[in-house]
Amino acid sequence: MTPFRLTIISPDGPKFEGDVEEIIVRTTSGDLGIMAGHANCVAPLGMGQATVIIDGKKRYGACIGGLFSMVDGKATIVATTFEWAEDIDAQRAEAAYQRAQQVLDSKDASDTEIALAQARLRRALVRKSVAGHK
Q: Select 43 or 88, whichever has its Cβ closest to ligand ATP.
A: 88
Closest CA to 19 of 1, 38, 43, 32: 1
Question: Exactly one of 17, 55, 89, 113 binds ligand ATP (CB under 6 A); which one?
Answer: 89
Q: Looking at 35-43, 50-58, 70-78, 80-88, which segment touches ligand ATP (CB under 6 A)?
A: 80-88
Residue from 77, 83, 97, 121 in contact with ligand ATP (CB under 6 A): 83
Number of H helices, E strands in the chain: 2, 7
Report how far residue 8's alpha carbon sits from residue 111's, in angstroms, rounded to the nearest whole number.
34
Among 6, 64, 85, 121, binds ligand ATP (CB under 6 A): 64
- Minimum CB distance to ligand ATP smaller for 74 or for 134: 134
Beta pairing class for 74-84 and 4-10 = parallel
Q: What angle do CA 112, 44, 83 make, to 5 degrees?
A: 80
**Chain positions contacting ligand ATP, by CB under 6 A:** 12, 64, 81, 83, 87-89, 92-93, 96, 120, 123, 127
